[in-house]
Amino acid sequence: MAHYSKASHVGSCLSIAEILYTLYFRILRVDPGNPNLANRDIFILSKGHGSAALYATLAERGFYPKAYLDKYYIDGGLLPGHLDKEAVPGVEVSSGSLGHGLSIGIGMAIARRTALDSGRVFVLLGDGECNEGSVWEAAMLAGTLKLENLTAIVDFNKLQSFGKTNEVIDQRNMAARWAAFGWDAHDVEGHDVAALEQVFSAPQQGPKMIVAHTVKGKSVSFMEDRLEWHYKSPNDEQYVQAIKELEGKK
Amino acid sequence: MRNTFVDCLIKRARYDDRIFLITPDVGFSVLERFADEFPDRYLNVGIAEQNAVGVAAGLALSGKRPYVYSMVPFVTMRCFEQVRVDVAYMKTNVVLAGIGGGLTYGPAGATHHAIEDIAIMRALPNMTICAPGDPIEARALMEQSFDHDGPIYIRLGRNGEPAIHGPDVKIEIGSSVKIADGDDLALITTGNTLELASRVIQAMQDRGRKATLISMPTIKPFDCDVIISLLDRGMPIVTLEEHTVIGGLGSAVAEIIAEYGKGVKFRRIGLPDEYSHTVGSQEYLRNHFGLNLERILEIIGGI
């Protein structure tokens, strides 16, 4: 998708691939045939620049034809670079400006709790996104309200748009920070599907925070842990090489 | 108006369980009645306006009808980007209820004044903007807000505004209300200058001039038709608002006049393009900025 449309944020997408796979194929109660199913689980991609990864996951899960993926980030396309919930079924919340998704997730979790709806709400944030003050406004409230139907994940890939995450704003104690705000915080290897599934499924006291330790550009040797892959789009040669490496890993 | 707001909300919440009230720690002596009666649907999120609006959007996306209540600057500007993305862009059924339109909070200072809110909110696609001028307008707009499709910003005053309309007046979102009719001049006003405008019309009448008085309880969508009908009658038009003359009611009227092609004499009366560094009550500041009967009659006399 990113190669075809010359789009950016490839590294940001590869760091969350296993998280999205685990959620959509192992955890979330969703029905692609009925995207508005009552009591469904909600997933919010608050780091909206990872849109391509979500579009691909939703297509794979059957929310819409895979042919839609060719309509990403192009003139007259269907799928914008940052999420628009009007674009395709399965996208619950529009995003792209950082620091919005967790607050919206709290509102959804409150609505479900008040209605005795068993649906869970999941919000995926970027590590750089945690620089936004609004994230911590939301973190404080969710802890206070002890929202047991809310789970947030931080994609802790240690790179943000213009520097190394812990050099821009030191967040090495990421899980401890969330725990201090009343979250049931866990560190997990963010590319390990079994470990992710286990932590998503574990019972929780209050809101759950999963600090997913990930690698930006995961599984493509020349992209891994490289800041430039927040911006670059693979050329023809890089695309072939990347696909070869990704398929080789499977 | 604050009490009208909460009265309407309580009455509705008794049979409509979609109603939620969210406050970023504002509402002492006003919101307690709602909080006591509906503890599960009242939420003080703390002094965190961005989160208040985001949480409201999440509730609305789940089929609820959340009302976010705070002072105008904090429910519009402090959280503007949440209003833009989570409320306007996603067209969620969130009502932003701002108290203290214009110079209501007088001596509290410019941080608490609301002089540029209408201009800012008018620029947002999908946003409906209401500025009731008396408790009757406030009640009618509140009652319509419960079934409105899309977000609303409602700019409220404080408490104790006099009723200007009679009980039988018809007030609808998107429509103006004609209070007086005359050919000499049309005075158009919105929100908390309605009472002042009605005094202007009375004073003109006392001097033998018959003027039209239009109240604009909705600024967006704007009642263009009423402006065009005034232009067709060829009468001078004056706008009056407790907001800067940039981007508010006066600008909305000017845009219609400019494009219609039938020029009339026109004046915008409002606050100047400056922040107040003067200390004083709403009335004191109105006098300071020339938003009083004498000065308005003087301007009108010169038209």
Q: How many Cβ atoms from other residues are within 10 Å of residue B299's Cβ?
A: 15
Size of interface A-B (CB pairs under 8 A): 88
Backbone angles phi, psi at B260, to 5 degrees: -80, -30
Mean pLDDT of chain A: 95
- Taken in order A237, A216, A43, A137, the sign of the CA dihedral is negative
Q: What tokens does B127 get?
A: 């946003």
Residue B186's H or E segment, with its range, is strand B185-189
Residues facing B128 on adjacent strands: B152
pTM of the full structure: 0.97
Q: How far is A36 from chain B (nearest CA, A)?
A: 10
Backbone angles phi, psi at A107, to 5 degrees: -60, -40
Q: Report whether pLDDT(B258) > 50.
A: yes
Q: Which residue of chain B is at minimal alpha-carbon distance from A42?
A: B62
Locus of tokens 């020349």: A222
Q: Do B61 and A138 touch (CB under 8 A)?
A: no
Residue B286's H or E segment, with its range, is helix B282-288
- Would you call B244 exposed, middle or buried from its count of C-beta atoms within 10 A (0-12, 13-18, 19+)? buried
Q: Which residue of chain A is at minimal alpha-carbon distance from B66?
A: A107
Locus of tokens 């950082």: A98
This complex has an ipTM of 0.96
Q: What tokens does A105 get?
A: 């997730």
- Would you call A218 exposed, middle or buried from its count of C-beta atoms within 10 A (0-12, 13-18, 19+)? buried
Q: Do B90 and A97 touch (CB under 8 A)?
A: no
Q: How many Cβ atoms from other residues are within 10 Å of residue A10's Cβ?
A: 27
Q: Do B82 and A134 touch (CB under 8 A)?
A: yes
- Residue B264 is predicted with a pLDDT of 96
**HEC profile for chain A?**
CHHHHCCCCHHHHHCCHHHHHHHHHHHCCCCCCCCCCCCCCEEEECCHHHHHHHHHHHHHHCCCCHHHHHHECCCCCCECCCCCCCCCCCCCCCCCCCCCHHHHHHHHHHHHHHCCCCCCEEEEEECHHHHCHHHHHHHHHHHHHCCCCEEEEEEECCEECCEEHHHHCCCCCHHHHHHHCCCEEEEEECCCHHHHHHHHHCCCCCCEEEEEECCCCCCCCCCCCCHHHHCCCCCHHHHHHHHHHHHHHC
Peptide bond preceding A32 in cis form (omega within 30 of 0): no
Interface test with A, best of B16, B23, B25, B55 (most A CBs within 10 A): B55
Q: How far is A152 from chain B (nearest CA, A)?
A: 15
- Residue A250 is predicted with a pLDDT of 45
Q: Do A111 and B64 touch (CB under 8 A)?
A: yes
Supply angle C-alpha A21, A24, A30, rounded to 5: 175
Q: Which residues in chain A are contacts of B42 at CB distance < 8 A?
A: none
A112 shares contact with chain B (CB less than 8 Å): yes
Mean pLDDT per segment of 10 residues, for chain A of length 250 residues?
89 95 98 96 97 97 97 96 97 98 98 91 97 98 98 96 94 97 98 98 96 96 92 93 84
pLDDT tens string B106-156:
999 999 999 999 999 999 999 999 999 999 999 999 999 999 999 999 999
Let me know: does B117 contact B205? Beta carbons within 8 Å: no
- Would you call A162 exposed, middle or buried from its count of C-beta atoms within 10 A (0-12, 13-18, 19+)? exposed
Q: How many residues does chain B have?
A: 303
Spatial separation of the C-alpha atoms in residues A60 and A57, rounded to whole Å? 5
Mean pLDDT of chain B: 97
Percent of chain A with pLDDT over 70: 99
Spatial separation of the C-alpha atoms in residues B118 and B96, rounded to whole Å? 13
Give the distance, in angstroms, between the CA of residue A29 and the centroid of all CA atoms in the same chain.
17
- Residue A249 is predicted with a pLDDT of 56
pLDDT tens string B60-83:
999 999 999 999 999 999 999 999
Let me know: does B260 contact B216? Beta carbons within 8 Å: no
Nearest to A137 among B50, B57, B90 (CB): B50
Nearest to A108 among B41, B45, B61 (CB): B61
Q: Do B58 and A107 touch (CB under 8 A)?
A: yes
Which residues in chain B (4-43) have CB-CB distances under 8 A to chain A? Answer: 40-41, 43
- Residue B238 is predicted with a pLDDT of 98
Q: What tokens does B292 get?
A: 């009083």
Q: Do A106 and B55 touch (CB under 8 A)?
A: yes
Spatial separation of the C-alpha atoms in residues A119 and B168, rounded to whole Å? 47
Spatial separation of the C-alpha atoms in residues A145 and A108, rounded to whole Å? 13
Q: How many residues does chain A have?
A: 250
Spatial separation of the C-alpha atoms in residues B188 and A66, rounded to whole Å? 55
